[in-house]
Amino acid sequence: MNCKSDLQTFRSAFKKSKLSLLLLTTLGYSLAATPVFSAGAEFAPGRILIKPAQGVSETTLSRLLRSHNANQRAIINAINVRIINVPVGAEEALARALSHNPNIKFAETDQVHSLEETYPNDTYFNASWHLPKVNAPIAWDLSSGKSVVVAVLDTGVDSNHPDLQGKVLQGINTVDNTNNTSDVAGHGTKVAGVIGAISNNAQGVTSIAWDSHILPIRVSNQSGGSAYTSDLAEGVTWAANNGAHIVNASYALTSSSSVNSAAAYLKEKGGIMVVSAGNDGSQWSFGDSINLISVSATSSSDQKTSWSSYGSFVDVAAPGAGIYTTSNGGGYAAVSGTSFSAPLTAGILALIKSANWNLTPDQMENILEQSALDLGNGGFDVYYGHGRVDARAAVLLAQQTTGGADNPTPDATPPSINFDLTNTQLSGIASVSVFATDNTSVNTLVLNLVSAIDEQLLSSVNGDQISISLDTTQLADGPYTLSATATDSYGNTNTSVIEITIANNIAMDSTPPSVYIRNLINDAILLSNMKVTIEASDDVGLSMIYCYINGALVASSNISPLSCPINTKKLKEGSHSISAEAFDLAGNTSLSAINFTIGSSSSGNGKTKPRGGGKGRK
């Protein structure tokens, strides 16, 4: 793809306004017309991002927004960041004003971010120079990223690429809230190949963490790959909630309060986030983020590239020039940019995680920095941060604590399943939704409708959510079961069921069921035990049948016939009664009763011929 002129336009705009967010992310919202990208745009028109201060009520917030002719558009729930509609042209002024209000923790414009990629010219480095440079071949003897899930927030991933097939999990498209994560611009496939392309298979390229899983999160539908801050923040929180151990976003995001909040949420979940330093070659003045690992780019000579941005926010440096990787459509390409320094670093973090699953995110970052090769001035500097990453040294340092290389605790946790039903009594066209969540990711979700006689498949998806419109008019009224089965990326399976009732005719039903005591006549004399048969029927559907002896419940069933035992040894000689009660789905009820005698008289032997008892009465 060729978006060089767009990148130059964005960079020029950002320099003029001293903006630090040079990433392109679009997790768009459809609550109103989604702003479109325009040449030179720095932020979404008519939209800003805010986070209320702790304890501020919704009433106070709403009143404050109304006073500025603004209103809430959407919310990123995990981090309580609000997306606010504001008058077009007033974005920067309102963000500045609200940032000084004691009720607001922070306010910022919804920045446009460009992918930090320098597109290759005709100069290609050796396809694998960066791997021996970071001592990857020695590190692979100890760790290969096995079972680690790395989320790629980008333009999508070509899951059919021969060097990525079977490596790409079910992700999400946060732009239009679908599961379509195909690559719209080619950039995400390149990033994914750097991290986790299939390796040691006698074809294609070699990745840094070849046994890791790729979780694609498409944050852009733009041909140039551009996106908004809000979309990136939403993507990070989704990754955190769906099992990502590492998150890579090849955008320069260190100064974004919203993204930092999302990265902090990810860290609370046990994950860690890597971003690009930027590609404008200048020094940026914003400070370091404790929640993000920012990566500058180096060449094969271990020098910072001329185009890599730098500053005190840089944590580490990594090779980023002439990196050979997968490309959209099944090919390969050499690429350059901090867009590829970041995923190389994310892959080394996957090696660290795989070498020791007991490490916290802060410990992983410390290992990455402490094991880096010091370049430039001694100690930390603005060009290389703590140094150029070293995979072998990082893995060895990770193994110094308890844990083992490529020996993670097997994931034995099945997905959780939740049904979204406002009422379990359904009629007409009913909305049925079911959601599955997992500590890694949900691969498949299947929804079945089960009746007393058969089972019907309603929907099956490669994802974690099913929402359907069920035409209940094609089904007989009565009880059913919704059964949902979810399977995660490691094969763990869980099934959850919920009882429902199809009730299209029930609301108008005023006719009670019929109930009969079939094989016992009135005033019969019983000398031995017997089983009484109770039959019931209804024009709409039965709910339950009960059998009582002398008012005490003896047996029950939701289907007819019901067998009700009479134990003569437990009953005294003399008169007794047996009664049958039936309920239909509308709650209408009928009762039938028969008297009988326990005794030794020869006038009855208790073996009565089947004859109808009393019919149910209203």
- pLDDT digit string (tens) for 43-62? 889 999 999 999 999 999 99
The pLDDT of residue 238? 95
The chain-wide mean pLDDT, for the chain, equals: 84
Q: For residues 349 and 342, is the Cβ–Cβ distance under 8 A?
A: no
The pLDDT of residue 314? 96
What is the fold, at CATH topology level, of the domain defined by 4-113? Alpha-Beta Plaits (3.30.70)
The answer to pTM > 0.75 is no
Q: 491 pLDDT exceeds 80? A: no
The alpha carbon dihedral of 539, 542, 543, 546 has a sign of positive
Candidate ranges 17-26, 149-158, 356-365, 452-461; pick with highest mean pLDDT = 149-158
Mean pLDDT of 467-493: 86
Mean pLDDT of 288-302: 94
Q: 119 pLDDT exceeds 60? A: no
Band (pLDDT 50/70/90 cuts) for residue 460 is confident
Token couple for 526: 């019983």
Name the more confident of 342 and 615: 342
Vertex 215: Cα angle to 214 and 220 (nearest 5): 115
Token couple for 378: 């001694």
Q: 87 pLDDT exceeds 50? A: yes
* AA identity, residue 309: S
Lowest mean pLDDT among 98-102, 122-126, 277-281: 122-126
Q: 337 pLDDT exceeds 70? A: yes
The pLDDT of residue 614? 45
For 25-71, the DSSP string reads ------SSPPPPP-TT--EEEEEEEEEEPTT--HHHHHHHHHHTT-E
The pLDDT of residue 117? 54
The pLDDT of residue 196? 94
State how far the Cα of 166 lies from the Cα of 192, in Å rounded to an integer: 13
The pLDDT of residue 98? 94
Band (pLDDT 50/70/90 cuts) for residue 489 is low
The pLDDT of residue 4? 34
SS3 81: strand
State how far the Cα of 136 lies from the Cα of 529, in Å rounded to an integer: 82
Give the closest residue to 355 by CA, choosing from 345, 367, 341. Answer: 367
Instruction: Kindly tell me the burial class for residue 341, based on how many C-beta atoms sit within 10 Å of its own C-beta (0-12, 13-18, 19 or more).
Output: buried
The pLDDT of residue 438? 79
Architecture (CATH level 2) of domain 130-398: 3-Layer(aba) Sandwich (3.40)
Mean pLDDT of 322-344: 93
Radius of gyration of the CA atoms of the chain, in A: 33
- pLDDT one-digit tens code per residue, 233-261: 999 999 999 999 999 999 998 889 999 99
Band (pLDDT 50/70/90 cuts) for residue 11 is very low
Mean pLDDT of 150-175: 94
Q: 277 pLDDT exceeds 70? A: yes
Band (pLDDT 50/70/90 cuts) for residue 116 is low
Which residues carry out catalysis?
Answer: 154, 187, 339
Residue 373 CA from chain centroid, whole number: 37
Going from N- to C-terminal start, the domains of the chain cover: 4-113, 130-398, 416-504, 509-598
The pLDDT of residue 17? 32
Which run of H or E residues covers position 500?
Answer: strand 493-502
- pLDDT one-digit tens code per residue, 379-418: 999 999 999 999 999 998 888 755 433 444 456 788 899 9
For 458-494, the DSSP string reads EEEESSSEEEEEEEGGGS-SEEEEEEEEEEETTS-EE
For 210-238, the DSSP string reads TT-EEEEEE---STT--EEHHHHHHHHHH
Percent of the chain with pLDDT strictly greater than 90: 57
Residues sharing a CB contact under 8 Å with residue 351, sequence separation 6 or more, in sequence order: 139, 142, 143, 144, 145, 208, 209, 391, 394, 395, 398
Residue 40 CA from chain centroid, whole number: 34
Token couple for 419: 């049904």
The pLDDT of residue 118? 43
* Candidate CATH numbers 3.40.190.10, 1.20.120.1200, 2.60.40.2550, 3.40.50.620; the one for domain 416-504: 2.60.40.2550
Mean pLDDT of 583-600: 87
Q: For residues 272 and 364, is the Cβ–Cβ distance under 8 A?
A: yes
Q: For residues 50 and 244, is the Cβ–Cβ distance under 8 A?
A: no
Domains 416-504 and 509-598 in one fold: yes
* Candidate CATH numbers 1.25.40.10, 3.40.50.300, 2.60.40.10, 2.40.50.100; the one for domain 509-598: 2.60.40.10
Q: 595 pLDDT exceeds 70? A: yes
